[in-house]
Chain A
């Protein structure tokens, strides 16, 4: 027994390195990581906070090699604790805080479906080559939404648990059925008051049929205008063919008139990126700046409907889009550096997810997915679709995402019925193959309609999925830009605070 009592002789010499290597001193908290091409690692925790660390850091964290007694690790250790990557107790003290943060991130679910799209008419006077849906016709009866369907759509909208609703009128060209819009707005105003709802009205239009009377009505009813501007005249007019007139001229004149009467903040424009646009990233951005816009939304063309048939004109590689997007984003940053505030909206959405604890209810980038949960579409013929893309698919005679018919299908069947349940199985990126391990899960989303349209099933196959390729690359790119240039980070932060 004597030997057992013999203690190691205490000495004053320096301690061995192993002494400083902390033993199981901390607990891992849930996080994922992504390896960047240069070897750096992006760590993202369960509540969406991120850190960029040198190569090999993840392995060191997991092997419990980060030692807060080591001066070289002290800052990293503190950052990891403060940002919820590791905890000093087995069950972290701040579990409640983490749960609340998680809840906040998902709180876009609280209000359920708020965006209701009414395809008020399918008629259009344009003949755009990439357009999936519209018809050049004067047959109002066949291609305008009937009053019966408008009434049923408003009834269904009033059943939404959301207090704040958005009623968006789309086409075809929505303004061709302005009488329908007036009817719908007047009906919705009364119903909204009865059901204690606040309704925001939006008209999506190419502005060509805009009249002063329409503007007066929009002004009186606080109706917002969302238009399309694809860039300079030689891009816009090629994308949006209008027999005997310049679509660009009509759009730009319309924007000026809308700004004058409705105010600048009530008019917004979206770009649709086509194969042609890919050659003009700088020119498109400069056009928006020249027209005084403070934001630009560079959207990739959707892979649905007629667009997929027009292979030569519309099928372009995601990598080409990414190249285009990065060039355009650099140009936008340049304008900001030169003192002109202009924000790119897709980046701003991702930034809000990266830099703030707030929920971002952007339909295309959320999990659970935005279709049904955030948006529902009432088509001109009364058909109800899970999203705008779902109705475009239906134009190709694929009714997979058709949820019912206005006036015939009950609210419960539409939102909680068998079809909604089947779709909802593929709505969570937390449980999709590939996404479940992906560091960018909380910034990205799930898009069953996109997966179905491009790959034939709602779950999708991530290794060659365009949605995945695009988002993985863009999220990484945005983080890299901020990490490598603090001036860019400052600009990006101004995009989400609105303060430069």
Chain B
């Protein structure tokens, strides 16, 4: 088998909280194939966001290796990591993270500014991307003038600004109603179909339906589906006891 697009080996992320040590990731080994659509599932606090942040170069592992497209993220310096985030990754957050003072098109054009793309070209491209997510008529609205679903579509357009190979989405529908969520799912599925590698943290069955790979996380470790079901049942039982 050929080299996967991304490979994580023995990945640890620990937080020192005084006396207690929190293991957000507790030895993760995971491959992500190029052009795949991976869905990461897990109860709250199981380390899904942490995993996505490491994959997106937004944070560094405490231990272990993480390689994306033959680049070793754990060995990169600050600038190289910034370049990796700029060129290779498009990140979609649960809370959109649009800059409130900027219009939709400003927000979408922003990543291209750091890529030193001339202003005119930036805005042409940003408008095209907004058209692609169906928001051409909202280009000059501010985030506060948009619905949650529309804001998340702007965020999807922004993630595509520098034409990244890897799209990472952390519970992108978590703050959305069902139908808005569905349109985001369709957009992500489209991105996968157009050849990008997509990793989504979600519980939404409509996404798992498109998935080429489903990853189950429990307590910072990747587990099989069977183990996952068992762990979930235990969690539910614990909650009922309370």
- Chains A and B are bound partners: no
A interface with B by C-beta (< 8 Å)? none
B interface with A by C-beta (< 8 Å)? none
